[in-house]
A and B are shown apart, each in its own frame.
Chain A
Amino acid sequence: MTGDDTNDGDHAHDHGDGYGEHDSAPNDPKVRARALQSLLVEKGVVTTDAVDAVVSAYEDDIGPLNGARVVARAWTDEAFRERLLESPSGTIADEFDFAMGIQHMQVVENTDDVHNVVVCTLCSCYPWAVLGLPPTWYKSPEYRSRVVREPRTVLEEFGLELDDDTDVRVWDSSSEVRYMVLPQRPPGTEGMTEAELAGIVDRDSMIGVGTVTVES
């Protein structure tokens, strides 16, 4: 990832890195970052490979795909689903290769009668290990206050129409408990494999501001 501004010695390119133009100021963050890495590599304190590995771990290994895999397994493996609802952290740690950041998780299941939605009214606690980084709106004061006060209206704004008799439950996350919604498996997915199912589960459905749908 950082490769593209370490190897392009002479040309400016579309990332606006601009160092090839020789007109940057020494206090330009691009220049500062470059200077720091240059010196630290030279002194043998870090290697470029180690720095790049951290970046790709951040970009590729942590994200909503993890949550989608959990949901897909719960849809296809009844015993896993039961254990997941019972004790999410241990169950995920047992069956998946990501273990960090799930210690305080709780999974709430959508059914025909109940729709769950997650918020953090205090700040922006979020199960990032399974959902990646929180979207901007999740952190907005508006969402945080309104979804508690008028969840149906907020969900409608997200394009989610719920039956009047559906019970809407709002879960307030904290540093002690991070909630993830287990969405309902949509009809028409009976023939799909676990991996295919993971591909249709999106972030919003696991926050509860959306449902999982299949394109027909």
Chain B
Amino acid sequence: MTTDESAEGSSSTPSDSLDDDVGRVLEDLQSAGLVGGDDDRPVFDAPWQARAFGLAVTLHREGRYEWPAFQQRLVEEVDAEPPDPTGDRDAATREATYYRQWLTALERLVVEEGILSAATIEERATEFADGTRDASEFVDGEHGHGHDHEHHHDH
């Protein structure tokens, strides 16, 4: 509920500690009533949700934007399509909606900050959607060890 960005809970300055940064982000999200996750359910319901979370926090940690800039856009997305007040939708649906809004907010910010263009994102999304491109491609580029078909299931 606080608006005091100078408080120690502020996430505007990334630190060397990953846990602290993630903690600050959670603190800020919680102050704004924006924390996802439910009960004893896993925090993320699907890998893409974890990816959306990880990307937004990582870009912030890399100094690409201040956390409040992301959160502002997340608020706008959530306000545009508020959670069902009767709460009768199941938790997985709520979670998916939340991370879809999260992702839209992230995309907007990435474009506004000039990190990527909207057209580039659209083009790449189309390639993944129609199968022109699959996941192994950038995993290879990332690790360069040709282990694209290794499985890293950790659950």
Contacts and interface: CB of A to CB of B under 8 A. Distances in A.
Interface string B58-96: 110110100000000000000000000001000100001
Contact of B35 (A3, A48, A128, A175): A128
Contact of A45 (B19, B23, B48, B64): B64
Main secondary structure of the interface of B (DSSP, over half): helix
A94 B50 CA distance: 32
A55 B19 CA distance: 10
A29 B95 CA distance: 12
A163 interface: no
A25 B154 contact: no
Contacts of A9: 134-136, 139, 148-149
Contact of B134 (A19, A51, A129): A19
Contacts of A135: 38-40
B133 A38 contact: yes
Q: Which of A25, A36, A137, A174 has the most CB of B within 10 A?
A: A36
Interface string B102-145: 01001100100001100011101111111101111111011100
A45 B155 CA distance: 28
B148 A124 contact: no
B136 A7 contact: yes
A58 B134 contact: no
Q: Name the interface size band of chain B.
A: 35 or more
A100 B19 contact: yes
A174 to B, nearest CB: 7
A152 interface: no
Contact of A7 (B116, B133, B139): B139
Q: Name the interface size band of chain A.
A: 35 or more
A56 to B, nearest CB: 9
Contacts of A140: 87
Contacts of B5: none
Contact of B151 (A8, A47, A62, A128): A8
A174 B9 CA distance: 14
Contacts of B141: 41-42
Contact of B48 (A22, A30, A47): A30
Contacts of A146: none
Interface in B12-49: 18-20, 22-24, 26-27, 30-31, 33, 35, 37-40, 42-44, 46-49
A28 interface: yes
B26 A31 contact: no
A119 to B, nearest CB: 15
Contact of B9 (A6, A7, A103): A103
B24 A100 contact: yes
24 contacts: A4-B151, A9-B136, A9-B149, A15-B47, A17-B47, A19-B134, A22-B129, A24-B128, A28-B129, A33-B55, A34-B125, A35-B124, A35-B127, A36-B110, A39-B120, A39-B121, A50-B61, A51-B51, A59-B50, A62-B23, A100-B27, A128-B30, A133-B35, A140-B87
Given A46-B58, A54-B53, 8 more contacts: A7-B150, A32-B125, A36-B107, A40-B110, A45-B62, A53-B18, A62-B22, A101-B9
